[in-house]
Structure 1
Amino acid sequence: MNDQAAPMTPTETDEPVVMVSGIPDMNRPLYRIFPLWFFEAALTTNAGNLFLIRPDAWEDPYEDICSKIMLQTPDHKQKMLSPYLRPAFAQCWSFEGQSDALLRAYSRVNRDAATGRNTEPKFEGVQVKTTRQSLFAPSTNFPRREGIPN
């Protein structure tokens, strides 16, 4: 009998799947704060389109929980879980429209002592309000899989 397990290999993605759950009201407001420079770029160079980004590319390493989970192989070595998962692309939105914590996390204001003006205005935050219905309307072109909620 062979003691060695089959080698672990990352899964391959065959098609994009949109998964959104836990938001029963399609018209409930969602909020996101963008740095001003990012928001301007989305409007001018991306034709107003927003892009989904892999969580491992996000600035805050704690938002990519899968990068912190380790697997133990049969030979007692550790490997990260994330390479074995299907690639995920996401954005963070909030139901909270008035959040000082989110404003501080996603914008920066450094006031000049003499003028009181922000020395780095491109890092000021811009709050965007939308709904699940508006945000995910473009994703209707993606294939759906049986049993996966929209």
Structure 2
Amino acid sequence: MNTLADIAALVAVFSAAIIYGTDLFCALVLRPAASGASDASVADLLGRVHEYGDRRLPLPGVLSIIATALAAATDDSTPARIGGAIALAALLLWLAIYLRISAPINKRLRAAAASHTVPADTRELQQRWDSVIWARALLQTIALAGLLVIILTR
């Protein structure tokens, strides 16, 4: 038994689960709701949602990556290290998608909400954001599965 790896894996599961739940909610509920809303509603409400999310969710997101790396590096069983490596790869790919696609859109919608404006390309911005939310949710699912391998291979 490796206590450090176990604690790191538990921290990683709980912190990744926050992001997983958020992304899954967005894929299942927010995405279809936004598709039927007016551009002004999307720009205002989702800009405000991203304002809070972008301020509050980096902590569990970064914590999940650090704890996953620690768990993968310190566990002494091969299946756990493989599960941890898969989880870490999924989290890093998620981060790349978020930084490259989602974050710039979030920033534009936050600015629109703050200035009470509606970007002319609001629908296109939301469609681009929507185009990666299922991939993000899937990557979080893979990460959680890899983390569970660490916990369950005891």
TM-score by length of 2: 0.26
- More strand per residue: 1
TM-score by length of 1: 0.27
Could you say which structure has the larger radius of gyration?
1
- More helix per residue: 2
